[in-house]
A and B are shown apart, each in its own frame.
Chain A
Amino acid sequence: MAPFHRLASIFSTLRTRLAAPYKGEWIGDPLRVAIFTAKFICFAHLTVEYSYTVSHGVGPSMLPTFEVIGDCFVVSHRHRFGRDVMVGDIVVYNIPVNNNNSIGVKRVLGMPGDYVLTGTPHSYHSESAANTRKDLMLQVPPGHCWVVGDNITASRDSRIYGPVPLALIRGKVVATVKSPFDFQWMENSFKKVDDDDTIER
């Protein structure tokens, strides 16, 4: 008997032996169960990957908004590749200068065509790394965005590695989950000013 036929017969014997206690049940066919499981995993993965995921960030760069450790947030992947992202939104993106698959969470301060300052205001005399390009003003190139952390003194962002391609954006933060009982929708703090609003000095 050819080796392939022997292998096939061993496999079919194993299949019937394994299935024997469950004859006639849906679980009685291990191959079908395996295929069904694989299909379900693919379906679940795609559903999560293209809708909403909950992830957490570590680091001091977004400090007033997110704690250094332990804050979870809901990421909407409808906004991947910068779809419908506006200035003021917090986005999750692949850090362009890293070789591993590391993720950054920062606030968008400029969309294509906007003018941004490449330095940190009021810190031109300090020797921080984010201050290498001093008071330069630049127009964000097409297809890119300018991301800056809320805690500008402890953040590595576009001030260091320049504008981030929109294609690297994985999603937008739509809500924070500080604890299982504390769910808050995230709102864009940059709002259109109505004519009724008065500026108080």
Chain B
Amino acid sequence: MARWGSAGTQARSFLGQFTHHLIRYATWLPPLICVKEYVADLTFINGPSMYPFLNPHYNESLRRDLCLTYKRYSWKNLKRGMIVIFRSPENPKTTQVKRIVALEGDRVRTRPPYPYEYVNVPEGHVWVEGDGENTKDSNYYGPISAHLITGRITHILLPWDRAGRVRWWEHPERPGLHKGLF
């Protein structure tokens, strides 16, 4: 008996070999999808919302940043300053990337489009904002549920000059944030 998984000893037709290799490589697709969904994924960042931290040259070139996203238990252990990827509460087909400003129980002084001056972030929710000026964030649609978060950005991979770990814990706290008031 030929060794299991090998192409066999006797010569096959071209079509037979082609199908054999196609099926062999296709069996690696489910593990790949599982890893991409539950462990880690590569993400291109679109748009200016995290300027200047991500996509600093968004108005000069079409180059996008490539980031590594960690996806294990994405709704747990969230900290202020983390950069997270979440499904948009306005349109579930799209994802957005923003920075966590406040966690549940915090009180935030909001920015213009929001109708009230202060907001208490409810249980199980986070307040997310983009670093840049041109951003549609929690000031627009309010605090988001932590379950919408699908991953957190841990590394910048491309471009090379800014590649490295994302030091979210060194990000200064936003003025107008009162931690754990209620």
Contact partner of B92 (CB less than 8 A), chosen from A38, A45, A82, A141, is A82
Does B158 lie at the interface of the complex (its beta carbon under 8 Å from any beta carbon of A)?
Answer: no
Does A15 lie at the interface of the complex (its beta carbon under 8 Å from any beta carbon of B)?
Answer: no
Contact partner of B147 (CB less than 8 A), chosen from A29, A96, A166, is A96
Q: Is A168 in contact with B146, judged by CB distance below 8 angstroms?
A: no
Contact with B along A10-50 (1 / 0, CB 8 A): 00000000000000101001001000001100110110000
Q: Is B87 in contact with A39, judged by CB distance below 8 angstroms?
A: no
Q: Which residues in A have their C-beta under 8 angstroms from that of B155? A: none
Contact with B along A158-198 (1 / 0, CB 8 A): 00010001111100000000000000000000000000000
- Inter-chain CA distance A144–B90, complex, in Å, is 7
Instruction: Give the dominant DSSP class at B's interface.
Output: loop
Q: Which residues in B have their C-beta under 8 angstroms from that of A99? A: 75-76, 104, 123-124, 146
Given contacts A26-B4, A143-B88, A167-B92, contact A96 B125 (CB under 8 A): yes
Which residue on A lies nearest to B91, using beta carbons?
A: A143
Does B56 lie at the interface of the complex (its beta carbon under 8 Å from any beta carbon of A)?
Answer: no
Q: Which residues in A have their C-beta under 8 angstroms from that of B141? A: 141
Q: Which residues in B have their C-beta under 8 angstroms from that of A141? A: 90, 141
Does A113 lie at the interface of the complex (its beta carbon under 8 Å from any beta carbon of B)?
Answer: no
Q: Which residues in A have their C-beta under 8 angstroms from that of B33? A: 42, 46
- Inter-chain CA distance A82–B125, complex, in Å, is 20
Number of interface residues, chain B, beta carbon within 8 A? 29
Contact partner of B148 (CB less than 8 A), chosen from A42, A43, A82, A167, is A167
Q: Which residues in A have their C-beta under 8 angstroms from that of B125? A: 96-97
Q: Which of A85-142 contact B (CB under 8 A)?
A: 94-99, 101, 141-142
For the complex formed, measure the closest distance between the CB of A40 and the CB atoms of chain B, giving whole angstroms. Answer: 8
Q: Is A96 in contact with B1, judged by CB distance below 8 angstroms?
A: no
Number of interface residues, chain A, beta carbon within 8 A? 29
Does A81 lie at the interface of the complex (its beta carbon under 8 Å from any beta carbon of B)?
Answer: yes
Contact with A along B78-90 (1 / 0, CB 8 A): 0000000001111
Q: Which of B120-150 contact A (CB under 8 A)?
A: 122-125, 141, 144-148
For the complex formed, measure the closest distance between the CB of B118 and the CB atoms of chain A, giving whole angstroms. Answer: 18
Q: Which residues in B have their C-beta under 8 angstroms from that of A43? A: 27, 30
Given contacts A99-B146, A165-B148, A168-B147, contact A144 B30 (CB under 8 A): no
Known contacts A81-B92, A96-B147, A143-B92, then 14 further A-B pairs from the complex at CB < 8 Å, ordered by chain A residue? A42-B34, A43-B27, A45-B30, A81-B93, A95-B124, A98-B123, A141-B90, A143-B90, A165-B87, A165-B89, A165-B92, A167-B88, A168-B145, A168-B147
